[in-house]
Amino acid sequence: MKRPLKIVLTEDDGPIRERLARIVGEWPEADLCAACATLEETLIAIGANEIDLLITDLKLPDGSGIDAIRFLAKKQPKAEAMVISILADERSVLDAIEAGASGYLLKDADSIDLLDAISDVMAGRSPISSRIARVLVRRLSERGHAPGDEEQEKGKPSLTEREMDILWGIAKGFTYSELADKLSISRQTVPVHIRNIYRKLQATNRSEAVFEAARLGLIKL
């Protein structure tokens, strides 16, 4: 039997925190380790528990959820992070993704959306709200036209054919197991290829790798 996911939740608004905590707490596949109202409480919870997922708001009374995501990446690099926020501006979205967030939902998400998003993140996908997707697409479009074709071509990293196959799979949201099946390779070799892709693209997570690959023209979203 698969063990429940260990989750830390951070939300400074009391009623919203209680609603999200109830959704996660009543889900048989999850174990809510802590429901935090501040950045300080979140950092303490991360330090005290070995977790699988951090779900955090960005605007907190004593700091930013982005700091919690960065702290998690240092302390527990295998854990995932997902943002649930009212903020949908470009800077907030990009900063969260660059810090290591693998998903970004707006607070209008209902209970089914939240649980589906958690499952997607833990399966290797990157769930994002449609408004957030538009922010990323607009940003990619703007950055894609910034350098000249010659300059962009010069700055492209060299990915192997297998790494390009894996990159396409990441962009399409395939899990590690699905990638292994589709490419007829072992499940254990997929993370190795992904680490090489991250290194070549100077990325730290799936969302950032896809973002950078699209910016460089390696793939088209």
**Architecture of domain 5-137 in CATH?**
3-Layer(aba) Sandwich (3.40)
Res 109: pLDDT:
62
106 in Cβ contact with 88 (< 8 Å): yes
Amino acid at 143: R
More confidently predicted of 57 and 97: 57
Q: How many CA atoms lie within 13 A of 68 on its CB side?
A: 31
Q: What is the Cα gyration radius of the chain?
A: 18
Report, as an integer, the average pLDDT of 103-116: 76
Model confidence, pTM: 0.66
pLDDT digits (tens, 9 = 90+) for 14-44: 999 999 999 999 999 999 999 999 999 999 9
CA distance 116 to 112: 6
pLDDT of residue 8: 98
CA–CA dist 135, 128 (Å, integer):
11
Please give the residue that has the higher pLDDT: either 219 or 27. 27
Residue 178 or residue 4, greater confidence = 4
| Tokens read off for 201 | 């693209």
Give the residue extent of every domain in the chain: 5-137, 147-215
Sheet of strand 30-36: strand arrangement: 30-36, 5-10, 53-56, 80-85, 103-106
Domains 5-137 and 147-215 in one fold? no
Reported as a single tens digit per residue, the pLDDT across 145-169 is: 444 444 444 457 888 999 999 988 8
Record: fold of 147-215: Arc Repressor Mutant, subunit A (1.10.10)
